[in-house]
Amino acid sequence: MKKGEEALTFVFSMIFIMVILFLFFSLFLIDSITKRDYAIKQIDNGNANINLINYLRTPIKKDYTIYDLIIDSYYNEEYNELEKETSNIFNKIYNKELCPLWNLKGKVNNNKFFEYESEFDIRKYTLTPNPRGNIFLLTTSNRIYPKSFSLELKFPDLDKNSTIVLTEGCIINE
């Protein structure tokens, strides 16, 4: 092989090696960019919620539960006791460190007849007008995931279609 040919082959070999190295480097780079950790943190178990069910069956006096109080409050249009009992119960369950948000709403034929919520105002942390459909950013690593649960309530008037909706928002560390 002539000197000139050898030099030419050497140059092409170098280019070839560089191309190969570049390709492998690119592959590893792409690989590292697209590598993701996925996490499934919770599941919804229908619309039932132990806290909501137990709230409704909490006894206030003998044979008289919160459920009865809701119905009486609706017909008497007197909500003070209901508000007091509700806030008492939910402020105990949802503490500021773990689950700062709760909101309880009662509806009859789609018309709201009471709504109580935590002191923690989620609207300050949301950028959209629909605060219950989003994930709220509190800090860089903590997020609040709101979940809603609903139950149908039976009223003495059978034509009344009533539901009670509880929204809870607990902090999840990312």
Partner 1 sequence: MNKKSQFDTTKELLLWIPRIILIVIVVGTVFYIVTIPIRKNFEINELHQNILRQRFVYSENCMAYKENKIYPGIVDIKKFEKENLEKCFQSNKIGVTLNLMNNTLKTIKINEKIAEKDIFCIDKKHFSCTNYTYYVLIKNEIIEPGLLNIHMVKTK
Shortest CB 170 distance to partner 1, Å: 7
- By CB under 8 A, is residue 30 in contact with partner 1? yes
- By CB under 8 A, is residue 59 in contact with partner 1? yes
Residue type at 3 in one-letter notation:
K
Task: Please identify, using beta-carbon distances, which residue of 49 and 73 lies nearer to partner 1.
Answer: 49
- By CB under 8 A, is residue 38 in contact with partner 1? yes
- Block residue for tokens 């039976």: 154
Out of 10, 16, 64, 75, the residue judged to bind partner 1 by CB under 8 A: 16
- By CB under 8 A, is residue 140 in contact with partner 1? no
- Block residue for tokens 């018309």: 111
Distance CA 74, CA 161 (A): 13
Shortest CB 6 distance to partner 1, Å: 9
Which one of 71-79, 93-101, 118-126, 152-160 is the stretch in contact with partner 1 (CB under 8 A)?
A: 93-101
Distance CA 51, CA 149 (A): 10
- By CB under 8 A, is residue 135 in contact with partner 1? no
Residue type at 143 in one-letter notation:
R
Scored b (16 or more CB within 10 A) or e, 103-130 reads bbbbbbeeeeebebbbebebeebbeeee
- By CB under 8 A, is residue 61 in contact with partner 1? no
- By CB under 8 A, is residue 170 in contact with partner 1? yes
Distance CA 54, CA 50 (A): 6
Strands 142-154 and 64-65: unpaired
Shortest CB 48 distance to partner 1, Å: 8
143 forms beta bridges with 137, 172
Enumerate binding residues for partner 1 (CB under 8 A).
1-2, 5, 8-9, 12, 15-16, 19-20, 23-24, 27, 30-31, 34-43, 45, 50-51, 53-55, 57-59, 89, 92-95, 98-99, 170, 172-173
